[in-house]
Each structure stands twice: as C-alpha cells, then as structure tokens.
Structure 1
C-alpha cells in the first residue's frame, strides 16, 4: 500500500545551478547531496528540514544515458503556500520569471520558472 509521496525527481542540465536557484531565490534547504569523485550524483532539496516530500535534482544527461526511453520532462507541480500576494512580489523583485497572479476556484495561484525554464505553480488555499 502506498502511504505517502517521498521524492519528486527533477531532471536538470546543471544540478548545482538549479540547486542554487531553489536555495538562494526560494529559500529551500539542501537536505542531502551525494558527490562521488568530485561529480554530483544527486541533490535533495526541500522547503524546510523535516518535510516528508522532497525534490531530488538528477543529472538529465546521465539519466538519459542509463535509460534512453525515460521521459525526462518536468512534471507538472503545484506547491501550496501562504501570503501568495507577498510571495509573488518577492519573486518578481528577485528577478524570477513569474506568470500572472490569478484567482481560481482552488485559490490564488501563480507560476514561476527556475533558471532552466521549468515552470512550477504555487497556490494559496
């Protein structure tokens, strides 16, 4: 039986740069980072320590080499947050690419893009 969502794999071109985007611009934390022979194997990040679901930044090229049939596209992700209006303005002031802030039946929502152009939505419920 499935009990929870553990990790979401994000396949990226430059793991260190994407890590820095999430940590420096979005205040995420690095939960774990595996380096072998000076090469990043994976980086686990989260909005804060102790959360159950994390993102793992994987090297897109390496994963494609190991499994050429795998879909390496960005999954559609919806994050939940508070004070979305303030967060929207903060992201704009940090130079993050953001879409419009809209009111939907599920709540206020906007999307943003990381430094590789992967879009993520965030919703205030």
Structure 2
C-alpha cells in the first residue's frame, strides 16, 4: 500500500547550492550527507511534511545510472496566500513568472538555481 510520504528527486549541478536555495525559500534541511562520494540533501517544507525533495548530484547520477532521466518532474506547490508568497520570493531574488488568476485561484512559477521550473497555486 502507498502511504502519504512522497519524495521527489531533483538533480542539481551543485547540491549544496541547491539546498541553500530551498532553505532561502523557508524549507528545512532534513539531511545532508555524502553517499558513495557524492552529496545528497533532503529538504522539506517542515520536519512534519509528508513531501520531501531529495537532491542528487546530476553529474554523479549521469555517470552511475544510465536509466536516470534528465527532465525534472513538474511540481505544483500549494499556498494559502499566493500573493504573500510571491512577495517573499521577490525579496530573496528568485526568478519569478507573473502572477495570473485562473478562476478563483492565483498561479505563478519560479526557477531554481539549475533552471528547473516550479508552479505555485492557491488562494
């Protein structure tokens, strides 16, 4: 059976830099370790979050796992106050798309240090 725990793999050119990026957005580091000579970080919105991002070194994965796919998954983060979150991300100098209203919800996208796009949606 599946449970509520979800871990999403992200590939980064610099694991430490990617981890610091997510920390600047308010995420907490759950672990940062070296595995087989490569860094791996696990971050989440909080220690109790059921969704974690696991950040692997892109070069290490490409050299050691020929089945790993290059494209990152598309993620949509929920927010109870999209406009306030947008303003917070502006203050930490994150590359942002415009806020758009779709029906009763607001949506915008942002880009991490490796050029991966993420979406935020909510009220």
Q: What TM-score does the superposition give when structure 1 sets the normalisation length?
A: 0.88
SS in 2 for 1:115: coil
SS in 2 for 1:68: coil
SS in structure 2 opposite 1:71?
coil
Matching residue of 2:17: 17
Runs of 4+ that moved beyond 4 A: none
Q: Deviation digits for residues 95-122 of structure 1, max 9, x if unmatched?
A: 1110010111372110001112111001
Tell me which residue corresponds to 2:26. Answer: 27
- 1:41–1:93 distance in 2 versus 1, CA, 3 Å: closer
- Per the TM alignment, residue 70 of structure 1 is displaced from its structure 2 partner at its CA by 1.9
Preserved contact between residue 102 and residue 109 of structure 1 (Cα < 8 Å): yes
- Aligned pairs, how many? 123
Give yes or no for contact 2:15–2:39 (8 Å, CA) kept in 1: no
String of CA shifts for 1:18-54, please: whole Å, max 9, x gaps: 0001102x010001122258x5431100011111110
Cα distance between partner residues in 2 of 1:40 and 1:27: 25
Q: Which residue of 2 aligns with 1:2?
A: 2
Counterpart in the other structure of 1:62: 60
- 1:15–1:40 Cα contact (<8 Å) kept: no
Consecutive unaligned residues of structure 1, counting only runs of 5 or more, are none
Report what 1:109 is aligned to.
107
RMSD (Å), alpha carbons: 1.8
Secondary structure of 1:34's aligned partner: strand
Q: What is the TM-score when the length of structure 2 is the normalising length?
A: 0.89
Q: Deviations for 1:46-98, whole angstroms, at most 9, x for unmatched residues?
A: 01111111000011111111212321221100000121111112212221110
Instruction: Return the alpha-carbon distance in structure 2 between the equivalents of residues 75 and 33 of structure 1.
Output: 22
